[in-house]
Structure 1
Amino acid sequence: MVKIVALLGDFWHNHDDAKAGLEAAISRLPYKEDVDLQYITYEEVSQALDGKPDLFINAKMDQLNPKDEQVITWLTEDLDQLLENYVKEGGSVLAWHAGMAGYKIESNYIQMLRGYFLYHPPGLQHVTYMHKENEKSGENTFSLSDEQYFVHCDTANTEVDLWSTGEDGNSLAGWKHLYGKGKVCCFTPAHTKEGMLDKNVSNLLAGKIDWILAK
């Protein structure tokens, strides 16, 4: 049995939409019947990681109340260290969409991701994504209405495998690498439920999960 714990949803991102998107991706795995998927709150992250899950999926930004004058964040220094140790010792992390947004750049978590969210143009736009296979031939592209994440990425120390292009320019949309004994993936699509359920997004997210879980 493969154990996955998922932290989903925040002020700007609906938990149930992400849940539907994640479950659609997992349903595409050939071993879907052997996946134990558990949803956790940020207060349960420490306990969940102590259970040594095969994969921790984070689709939650750091700020709990981004529009308030006194902003509260959930990733404490202790949790930050715990999360890094978990991956170094063989656990894996998938930072999905908001899971790379609003965190301190100097945190162990962001340094481990080797990339982070910078900004996105206002609202939803027509975004075209291109993944790695045969990119020079123009194949393996798809488009959807989405928030186009513009990111910083340490491209010298990770493998970029997804790109995006939209009205405001080009960006990176996915990358992966080994970290200690574990694996790390970052995946920026998608913001809406419709986008997360798009078969192309769903297939790529399933592929990320499968790469992480492959022994």
Structure 2
Amino acid sequence: MSKIFTYLRINKNNKSYTKLQEEKIINYVKEHNLQIYHNIEVEINTPSEEKNIMELLKSCQMNSTLLVYDLNVFGRTVERILEIVKFLLESKIRILVIKQNLDLVDNNDMLTKMILGMISMTIALDKELMSLRTKEALTAKKLKGESLGKPKGTIQKSKFDKQRDKIEELLSVGLSVRKIAKLLGYNNHIGLNNYVKKRNIREQSSSLEELAS
């Protein structure tokens, strides 16, 4: 029989879930009279720490078996779970999942293929539903007369901001936006022209020269 590893996801903010994993794994091992080769424990308290899962699971040996309580221990999104499950199966690691009663053998196993297909469908469906919820929420706001997007008059950051002083200086000596764009290395003067207009830079400068055609 292949070497059996157990995997435990530890979260200090959810100690009851950690304890539940421990109890279920211990009971499963006793019930099936399994010999555990090594216990893998990963502490994950924030979503950003989930990247550590992949590194630690690399310690599992090829042709070994990984015993977990449920699929949720691999991630907090379906996409993350699918990513790690695929990684393990491609590494020839069998996955036993207690809660969902799953035995994911390898990529060539028909049942495993069906399960992975269902997970992929869930991801696609979730994205589609999220898109629909967003559209419906925006439509509802529009029907209520609420404004969408940023408040009118909001000025966003621009790539031209870092050279604003230089732009103002060149405008004040009478250079056109087209020439300023060329001088400062911008390929298209139209963007700079819009930048100058929206921020009333020309009015703030001492130059009254019209924009070149």
TM-score, normalised by the number of residues in structure 2: 0.33
Q: Relative CO higher for 1 or 2, CA cutoff 8 Å, sep ≥ 6?
A: 1
User: Could you state the TM-score of these two structures normalised by the residue count of structure 1?
Assistant: 0.33
Higher strand proportion: 1
Bigger proportion of residues as helix: 2
**Structure possessing the higher radius of gyration over alpha carbons:** 2
